[in-house]
Amino acid sequence: MTSIETLAATISTEVGKLSDLLLELGSPTPTLEETGFGDFAHESDTPKGVALRETRSAILVAAQDLLQLVRGPTEHILCLAWSAADTANIDLITRLGIPQNVPLGSSISIEELSKVVRLPDALVARIVRYAIGIGIFVEEKPGYIGHSASSAALVQNPHLSNIVHFGTEFLGNILLKVPEAVVSKRDNPDHAPDAAFNIAYRTDESLFSLFQKNTDLNTKYHEYLAGRVNTPLWSVDRLRAAFPWSSKGDVTVIDVGGSSGHTVQYLASLMPTAKFIVQDSNKSALDMGRRAVEMSASDPSLRSRISFEEYDFFTPQPIEADIYIYRHILHDWNDADSVKILSSLLPALKPGAKILISEGIVPAPPAKRLNTLATKMIRIEDMFMLAAHNAHERSVMDFVSLFDKVSPAAFKLVGVTSGTEAGAFQSLLEFEYLGLPN
């Protein structure tokens, strides 16, 4: 039985290990002050990096359990029920650009800040003081606002701001409509909307169809995707470590539904003689990718090695390649549509071709408490998929079942590299095409 004493002892032991590791790695001790900005950049696949990640995880698991015990069940439930207030606050401060208008290394009066954001003093005071209460900003003396480590991160890491913009404004909006959508499907199935997204945005269109027509949402969505891959949880470093890219030589790699091509731009450095094709139906995303490749100063060869093509992945794949990547694609679609997407590959596949699925993997039951973001993210993302598309994340066996429905015995699961074990969201499933059975 878990007790507050055993949890406190675990935390004390693991904190000692963490301090020693940080000292060995030459990393400063984290603080909540502005100068304490900085994530655990030393986490890596080196022995010390792995130890750092595991130690942090042990602290987080024990600390979250300790908080739940000390709060008690009623306060725990109320904190969950009212967490939307936290989401609304961080959405508001980022929309107003408040972090960017608080000077780093100094402070600003509420009166001056109010003039910049063009809102009444009393309202700005309410907004920033709520943020201070959840660890964003500090008020070192009455009426003067400075940075905490967290608010400084929003200034110094634009990728984090992009994630927050889309994650609160759009995803937060549709998540709040999930209960209504689910109950509607139960009580009025013949007239229920397809997904919570349709209720939130009062449309019968799909999410992707709306994005292609809404320039602002489309831009924020692709900034969000690019922002995620620049965080440890979503970093393409996990993709690099999960597959022997550098040994593949002169091959053709297709990133199906690859948006603006941020994945292949990264992989290109690992495969200097490979050719890459980014396929997507979103013209704006493809144009963003073309511009990024044209402007690349670090590797001019990208212009000749990466191409962008408009393609609807529900239609037959026109290009024969050695490797096809589906990164965060299938979870957007229900099982029937996912089978159609994979079936579209059949006309182009040659025996030995690899199909790589880079997504989160739902763990096998029984379910457990999830006290770290790396372990909880698969459940969060599953809620995103329910809200956005009425789709879902999958287990390993769910993916195997999809390929079996495409063509029984035509595909082999070669291996699975877990992302969660490495402190990341996405795992990698490698399937090989064996050819159609006679």
What does the radius of gyration of the chain's CA atoms come to, in whole angstroms? 23
pLDDT bucket at 44, cuts 50 / 70 / 90: low
DSSP letter at 149 equals: H
Q: 153 and 211 in contact (C-beta within 8 Å)?
A: no
Residues in Cβ contact with 141 at an 8 Å cutoff, skipping those fewer than 6 apart: none
pLDDT tens digits along 270-308: 999 999 999 999 888 899 889 988 887 677 788 889 999
Tens digits of per-residue pLDDT, 194-245?
999 999 999 999 998 998 888 888 888 888 888 887 888 887 777 777 888 9
- CA atoms within a 13 Å half-sphere pointing along the CA-CB vector of 18: 19
Token digits of residue 165: 């913009």
Burial class (CB in 10 A: 0-12, 13-18, 19+), 424: buried
SS3 209: helix
Band of the pLDDT at 41, cuts 50, 70, 90?
low
If one counts every other C-beta atom within 10 angstroms of the C-beta of residue 171, the result is 19
Strands 144-146 and 138-141 turn out to be antiparallel
**Between residues 136 and 237, which one has the greater pLDDT?**
136
268 contacts 299 by C-beta, under 8 angstroms:
yes
| pTM (2 d.p.) | 0.89
Domains of the chain: 4-81 (no CATH), 84-156 (1.10.10.10), 167-222 (no CATH), 229-433 (3.40.50.150)
CB count within 10 Å of CB 82 equals: 9
Q: Enumerate long-range contacts of 112-116, CB under 8 Å, 24 or more apart.
A: 113/145
Backbone angles phi, psi at 283, to 5 degrees: -65, -40
CB 435 within 8 A of CB 426: no
Q: Residue 277: what pLDDT?
A: 97
Q: How confident is the model at residue 37 (pLDDT cuts 50, 70, 90)?
A: low
Exposure string of 211-233, with b = 16+ CB inside 10 Å and e = fewer, is bbeeeebbbbbbbbbbbbbbebb
CA distance linking residue 174 with residue 221, whole number of Å: 14
Q: DSSP code of 361?
A: B
Q: Tell me how many helices (H) and strands (E) the chain has.
A: 20, 10
